[in-house]
Amino acid sequence: MKKVEISDYGVPENVARCVEVADVGPPGPGEIVFDVLAFPINPADILFCRGNYRLRPPLPATPGAECVGRVVAVGSGVTDIRPGDLVANMQRENWVQRRRISASDAIPLPTGLDPLQAAMLRINPATALLLLEDHVTLKPGDWVIQNVANSAVGRHLIVLAKEKGARTLNVVRRDDVAPELKALGADVVLNDGPDLPARARDAAQGAPIRLGIDAVSGEACKRIADSVADGGVVVTYGSMSGADPVISRLALGRGITLKSFMLGDGLAKRSLAQVRAIYADLAGKLRDGKLNAPIDATYPIEEIRAALAHAQRGGGQGKVLVLPNGPV
Ligand SMILES: NC(=O)c1ccc[n+]([C@@H]2O[C@H](COP(=O)([O-])OP(=O)(O)OC[C@H]3O[C@@H](n4cnc5c(N)ncnc54)[C@H](OP(=O)(O)O)[C@@H]3O)[C@@H](O)[C@H]2O)c1
């Protein structure tokens, strides 16, 4: 079977290669084996290949924080998952054709779910939900401001905030995405820039912006914090700029709290039953088309280097996915 390995930390399309390895073998007690149907290339995977992610395992290593698979065999004692089921995997190292994992690490998925959307269920929809739920108790009508609003997380956040009755100010870096974000339910779409805080406050018409959400970091984080009302919260959860987050003394003086967010920490605070309930709900929303992450292109696993180059090009229309076992 084939899998992706990185032999060094560095430029992803230079250090990643598709290699032939032994099959995973049959499932042991409590295990399942599944064929990986699809995995996305997320910003965190790019950081992982570069050696800039918080996890930096010994090399060679296999990237891949999420995937969707079709179960081919289950071991003794596995009662809630059957061959043919679609599953997501809570564990890493998913850039591979086949996985053998503990059944307790699998998230069973509903039928009728598009496998490509299912491949992107584990990380971004849950991140958007927990960003909205874990830091500020939002009331209907409350304003939230977020940057990278055109990302998969940003798009899910627009929809989930709307469901809660909250209003969103969405900061982007290019004009052409505004109509699509408005169609998703974005109340306001603003281009980033030095005067963002003034434009954001104008757009909220004096109503307090209670929650700021940042995944650009650096000075962009400062602009989000300067947009948030006195006593508000800014959550920084990514760094598309590669910089560390900045906050002004003025914002600190206004009682703004800067917090960081990691999905794994947010899920770890919840019971397995709660985690499964979150994913069942989000999977239903993906199946019903309420949540959707646009896809720019798909690649076979043998073309992992081209897929990685594509995922970093910018200006695309969505995610790059890899289909390790052929078209789905
Ligand atoms: N902390 C966590 O647990 C967690 C979990 C999930 C995701 N994340 C983070 O969330 C962020 C979004 O992830 P995603 O998978 O949703 O992203 P994505 O769909 O791959 O989209 C990436 C987005 O970043 C924007 N972007 C790229 N470089 C930028 C720059 N230098 N300045 C401003 N914007 C830039 C792109 O803008 P265009 O649309 O204009 O190209 C695009 O909207 C990433 O930073 C990721 O690491 C964190």
Residue 12 lies inside a defined structural domain of this protein:
yes
Angle ∠(134,311,218) on CA atoms, nearest 5: 50
113 and 133 share one domain: no
pLDDT of residue 52: 96
Tell whether 278 is covered by a domain. no
Stretch 4-32: mean pLDDT = 98
Q: For residue 177, how many other CB atoms are within 10 A of its CB?
A: 18
The CA distance from 318 to 255, in Å, is: 36
For 97: left if phi > 0, alpha if psi spans -120 to 50, otherwise beta; the answer is alpha
In a domain, 285, yes or no: no
- Mean pLDDT taken over the chain: 97
What's the burial of 175, exposed, middle or buried (CB within 10 Å: 0-12/13-18/19+)? exposed
pLDDT by residue (tens digit) across 278-309? 999 999 999 999 999 999 999 999 999 999 99
**Is 53 tagged catalytic?**
yes
Q: What is the pLDDT of residues 13-25, one digit of tens each?
A: 999 999 999 999 9
pTM passes above 0.95: yes
The per-residue pLDDT for 314 is 86
Domain end (from 216, 246, 264): 264
- For residue 71, give the CATH number of its domain: 3.90.180.10
Does any ligand 1 atom lie closer than 6 A to the CB of residue 216? Answer: yes
Query: Are 95 and 24 contained in the same domain?
Result: yes
Task: Tell which atom from ligand 1 comes closest to the C-alpha of 238.
Answer: 45
Pocket residue to mutate for ligand 1, from 39, 52, 153, most atoms within 8 A of Cβ: 153
* Residue 160 structural domain: 124-264
Sign of the alpha-carbon torsion through 99, 104, 110, 113: negative
Which class for 29: exposed (0-12), middle (13-18), buried (19 or more C-beta within 10 A)? exposed
CATH number at residue 189: 3.40.50.720
CA dihedral for 35, 113, 169, 320, sign (positive or negative) = positive
Check 53, 237, 279, 299 and give the catalytic one: 53
- Among protein residues, the one with the nearest Cα to ligand 1's atom 9 is 238
**Domain co-membership, 132 together with 114:** no
Q: Which helix (H) or strand (E) holds 107?
A: strand 106-108
CA dist 34 to 27, 287, 323, Å?
A: 10, 21, 14
Same-domain check for residues 151 and 213: yes
SS3 29: coil
Tens of pLDDT, residue by residue over 217-265, are 999 999 999 999 999 999 999 999 999 999 999 999 999 999 999 999 9
Q: Do 250 and 150 reside in the same domain of the chain?
A: yes
User: How remote is the CA of residue 77 from the centroid of ligand 1, in Å?
Assistant: 40
Does residue 259 sit in the same domain as residue 131?
yes
**Sequence-separated (6 or more) residues with CB below 8 Å from residue 281:** none
Q: Are residues 107 and 137 in the same domain?
A: no
Give the position, in ligand 1's atom list, of the atom nearest the Cα of 155: 16
What is the position in ligand 1's atom list of the atom closest to the CA of 153? 16
* Number of folded domains that form the chain: 2
Residue 328 in any domain: the answer is no
Q: Which of 264, 282, 306 is the last residue of a domain?
A: 264
User: How much distance in Å is there from the Cα of 89 to the middle of ligand 1?
Assistant: 22
Which ligand 1 atom is the nearest neighbour of the CA of 264?
3
Which residue, by CA, sits nearest to atom 43 of ligand 1?
151
Name which of 234, 279, 224 is nearest 255 in CA terms: 234
309 in any annotated domain: yes
86-92: long-range pairs with CB below 8 Å, 24+: 86/37, 86/111, 86/113, 86/115, 86/118, 87/32, 87/34, 88/118, 88/119, 88/121, 88/122, 88/279, 89/34, 89/122, 90/122, 92/55, 92/63, 92/64, 92/65
Which of 240, 269, 292 has most ligand 1 atoms within 8 Å of its beta carbon, as the pocket-test mutant? Answer: 240
Give a yes or no: residue 276 inside a domain. Answer: no
> 232: Cβ below 6 Å to ligand 1?
no
Residue owning the nearest CA to atom 44 of ligand 1: 238
Query: Are 34 and 141 in a shared domain?
Result: no
Are 44 and 141 in the same domain?
no
Residues 162 and 233 in one domain: yes
Tell me the mean pLDDT in the region 26-48. Answer: 98
CB of 85 closer than 8 Å to CB of 108: yes
**Cα 319 to ligand 1 centroid, rounded to whole Å:** 10
List the residue whose alpha carbon is closest to atom 33 of ligand 1: 216
Same domain, 167 and 75: no
- The mean pLDDT of 122-126, rounded to a whole number, is 98
Instruction: For residue 11, give every residue at least 6 positions away whose Cβ sits within 8 Å of its Cβ, in sequence order, or none.
Output: 50
Q: Is the Cβ atom of 312 under 6 angstroms away from ligand 1?
A: no
Q: How far is the CA of 254 from the centre of ligand 1 (A)?
A: 28
The verdict on residue 287 lying in a domain is no
Q: Are 213 and 156 in contact (CB under 8 A)?
A: no
In this prediction, residue 80 has a pLDDT band, given cuts at 50, 70 and 90, of very high
> Are both 146 and 20 inside the same structural domain?
no
Determine, yes or no, domain membership for 180: yes
Residue 215 CA to ligand 1 centre (angstroms):
6
Long-range contacts of 222-226 (CB under 8 A, 24+ apart): 222/246, 222/247, 222/248, 222/251, 223/171, 223/192, 223/194, 223/196, 223/197, 224/145, 224/146, 224/147, 224/171, 224/196, 225/251, 225/256, 225/258, 226/196, 226/197, 226/250, 226/251
Q: Which atom of ligand 1 sits closest to the CA of residue 47?
A: 47
Is residue 315's pLDDT more than 90? Answer: no
Q: How far is the CA of 196 from the centre of ligand 1 (A)?
A: 19
Task: Name residue, tokens 């408005």.
Answer: 182
- Percentage of the residues of the chain whose pLDDT score is greater than 90: 98
Structure tokens at 187: 């109340």
